[in-house]
């Protein structure tokens, strides 16, 4: 695994949908990557939102739950779950440029 992209989120499933859509549109020869979405104790439909994208990412997308609220707890959970040599973080409201993976 080359890159692990970690997205920490809490109660922002609508913006997370847009972030995941943008990550589906990466161009060029892609490296080996995974995306780990860390749900930081959301009470909305975050888990459902992530699960609908798993087949679209051909199982390179994973969901992880972190019950302790706080970004540092969520990031640490993501790092623990990550399998990549490089760890990249992005926010749950970012729209990734189509060359983002290539540039990482």
Query: Going by C-beta distance under 8 Å and a sequence separation of 6 or more, which residues neighbour residue 43?
Result: 11
DSSP string across 59-102: T-EEEEE--S-SHHHHHHHHHHH---SEEEEEETT----TTHHH
pLDDT at 101: 85
CA dist 19 and 42 (Å) reads 17
| Maximal C-alpha separation, the chain | 38
Q: Which residues does residue 5 pair with via DSSP β-bridges, in sequence order?
A: 35, 88
pLDDT at 30: 66
pLDDT at 104: 81
pLDDT at 29: 64
Name the phi and psi angles at 82, rounded to 5: -65, 145
pLDDT at 79: 98
Query: pLDDT digit of tens for each residue in the chain (104 aa)?
Result: 699 999 999 999 999 999 999 999 987 666 789 999 999 999 999 999 999 999 999 989 999 999 999 999 999 999 999 999 999 999 999 999 999 888 88
pLDDT at 28: 62
């Amino acid at each position: 695994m080359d890159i692990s992209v970690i997205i920490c989120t809490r109660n922002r499933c609508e913006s997370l949908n847009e972030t995941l859509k943008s990550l589906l549109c990466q161009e060029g020869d892609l490296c080996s990557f995974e995306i780990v979405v860390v749900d930081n104790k959301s009470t909305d439909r975050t888990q459902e939102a992530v699960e609908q994208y798993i087949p679209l990412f051909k199982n390179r997308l994973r969901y992880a739950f972190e019950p302790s609220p706080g970004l540092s707890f969520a990031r640490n959970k993501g790092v623990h779950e990550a399998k990549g040599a490089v760890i990249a973080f992005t926010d749950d409201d970012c729209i990734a440029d189509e060359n983002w993976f290539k540039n990482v």
